[in-house]
Structure 1
Amino acid sequence: MNRATFGEKIFDIGNVLFLSIMMLATVYPIVYVLFASLSDAGQLMAHNGFLWKPAGFSIEAYENVLRNPMIGKGYANTFFVVAVGLTINILLTSFGSYALSRKSLKYRKPIMMGIVFTMFFNGGLIPLYLTVKGVGLSDSLWALIIPQAVNTFNLILMKTAFEAIPDALEESAKIDGANDFTILFRIILPLSLPVVAVMLLYYGVSHWNSWFYALIFLQERALFPLQLILREILLQGEASSMATGASDMDAAALSATLKYATIIVATVPILCVYPFLQKYFVKGALIGAIKG
């Protein structure tokens, strides 16, 4: 075995220190929010500086958050958008990627150029709003799903992954009488599970975190997704109204912990899903990003 030189040891130590600092800078804000959400409201207001443990322990903020009926409605709306949206996203992206990855497709290059064009130029927000309103999707959860049905970058990523699968598999399947749907669902997709997992993660996180289009297209509060409810609580002072039965001073203190608790409630589900897809992430992204 070759012994590391002095310079290599210094580099390794510096690399570990740098990555450790980056990890702390990334993780600590989440840890701070978690500890703050579990803190006593009065002690948290009096605390200054870093927070390495809950300032007192209280779950009152979570009790108030979970009593808020809009949180439950927001969860239900978000789960609907994520579940239905992911199904449509994966199906349409798979169909488009499979068609564009076939060398026999006529006008393949012009079609691909037109798709790539949309990555750099679009009509803007006003034409999108008028289109959504014109087709009757305004003030409907479908306005958060249909316009986002296919992402160009994800389409290109999956197309590149499909192109890496040997053509001999498709040819042998066609000799056995398989049609394009059979080839896609029984050969191409099973061999592309890492890429499919990456698509689930990309689309899922996008739907879960989406709030801007909900703000534009939705007027009825009963249809608001979770992130829009979170925005109201954080930016529009809705947290104080959730501190029921408290004096003005106590309500002001409790509203701070309520904001932190709401962030945790809105973030935990997607954090729980990520570890199950993480093992596919690097492999799927590389397969879809490197041709050949």
Structure 2
Amino acid sequence: MSLFPLVGRKQPRMRVAWSLMNILLWLGIILHLIPFFIMISTSLKPAAEAMAMPPTLWPKNPTLVGWSLIWNISDIAKSLLSQPLSRYFLNSTLMTLGTIILSIPVTSLAAYATSKLIKGRATKPLFIFFIGTLMLPGIVTLIPSFLLTRNFPFPLPVPPNIPGTEIAFPTLRIWNTIWAVILPAGFSASNFLLFKGFFDGIPDSIINAARVDGGSEFNIFRRIIVPMSLPVYAVTTYFTFGGVWDSYLWPLVVIQDSAIAPLTLAIRRISDAFSGAGTTSTMTALGASSAIAPLVEQGLSWNGLMVLGLLQALPVFIFFIFAREYLLKGVRIQGLK
């Protein structure tokens, strides 16, 4: 359904509103594309031009040196990154795919059970239990969540002792492993809410007819509910993919080993080094930080960081391109609801 009906767009008052809406939309598109253009422009600049002030809009002599050297950054400056760049990509991929594989089935099955299986007074408390985590800002639960990764199921610095003994309760420790990222993100209340909202719109008569035909609940879910719900599956998968792939704060808290760190932590480490060294000239950078001196000497500065930023954004963009049909359909359906 259009915001402005086609029949009424020719009226003078509607025409003005239609024009203003188009101007605002195009202005928003341009504002979103400007940072992307600057990233592409800077990634094609030599190291000296990328650090020069005032910056140039487009490189005088475009070069791909940043794109070629960034893959060897761990060999050029081992004090900054102890692992090859491909390792950080692999870690981010494992965390993202692991979260999707866990989160989508768990949240969709929980939403289906709450929407279609559990009836009566138990439905409301169970629903509130699932979405209760959305009522608190993430920063409020950051420390308890961190303690849970160290001493699960106790959100305490030290697990308590078994009553009557001096032996501590056994705990599960997932801190400083990729599971510390996968497991908390796998139980997403926002995904549950999206799934339940969609499943509530599926007529019960379809499910009851399948039950009369002898279908089990799991077969009904697998053969009927899932094919009908592909748009919401696309939306939740996209949100989960982008949320985990671009996450920074939580991996920073629970991961200390660089061998399992995601790409976002590697980018931040390089960015901090260049920010502390100064951005006005290569000589300033060389004199301010010995850590980035090898990078600048080889031709890497902010151009390499922009390459990393583009590589970080590329998977999410590719995912959207391939799944855009289902994503847009899912957004429209949720918007109408």
Deviation at 1:42, TM superposition (A): 2.5
Pair 46,127 (structure 1): closer, same or farther in 2 beyond 3 Å:
closer
Q: Given the alignment of the two structures, is residue 160 of structure 1 paired with residue 197 of structure 2, yes or no? A: yes
Pairs within 5 Å for 1:24-63? 24-46=30-52, 48=54, 51=57, 53-63=58-68
Deviation at 1:172, TM superposition (A): 1.8
**More moved, 77-86 vs 59-68:** 59-68
Residue matched to 2:93: 79
SS of alignment partner, residue 138 of structure 1: coil
- Is the contact made by 1:47 and 1:55 (CA closer than 8 Å) also made in structure 2? no
- Contact kept, 8 Å, 2:100 with 2:240, in 1: the verdict is yes
Amino acid paired to 2:54: N
CA contact under 8 A between 2:104 and 2:237: conserved in structure 1?
yes
Preserved CA contact (<8 Å) 1:78 1:208: yes
Post-superposition offset of 1:43: 3.1
1:114 pairs with 2:129: yes
The DSSP-based 3-state class of the residue aligned with 2:187 is coil
Q: Which deviates the most, 170-179 or 216-225?
A: 170-179
Mapping for residues 1-292 of structure 1, pairs under 5 Å: 4-46=10-52, 48=54, 51=57, 53-68=58-73, 69-102=83-116, 104-105=118-119, 107-121=122-136, 124-134=141-151, 135-237=172-274, 241=291, 244=294, 247=297, 254-288=300-334
Q: Distance in 2 between matches of 1:243 and 1:273?
A: 36
Q: Is the 1:161–1:289 Cα contact (8 Å) retained in structure 2?
A: no
Distance 1:103 1:77 in 2: 38
Normalising by structure 1, report the TM-score: 0.88
Stretches of structure 1 that go unaligned for 5 or more consecutive residues are: none
Structure with the higher fraction of residues in helix conformation: 1
Larger radius of gyration: 2
Q: CA deviation at 1:90?
A: 0.6
Task: Please tell me the residue identity of whatever aligns with 1:125.
Answer: L
Kindly tell me the number of residue pairs found equivalent between the two proteins.
Answer: 286
Residue identity (%): 25
Instruction: List gaps (5 residues or longer) in structure 2.
Output: 1-6, 74-82, 152-171, 278-284, 286-290
CA contact (8 A) 1:38 1:257 kept: yes
Shift of 1:209: 0.5
Pairwise CA RMSD: 2.5
Residues 25-70 of structure 1 deviation map (CA, whole Å, 9 limit, x = unaligned): 110110110111011222334463562x333111111122111343
CA contact (8 A) 1:197 1:280 kept: yes
Q: State the secondary structure of the residue aligned to 2:84.
A: helix
Equivalent residues of 1:97, 1:159 under 8 A apart: yes
Letter in 2 for 1:96: A
Partner SS, residue 10 of structure 2: coil
The alignment's TM-score, normalised by the length of structure 2, stands at 0.77
SS of residue matched to 1:72: helix
| Aligned counterparts of 1:117 and 1:131: Cα–Cα separation in 2 | 18
Give yes or no for contact 1:64–1:242 (8 Å, CA) kept in 2. Answer: no
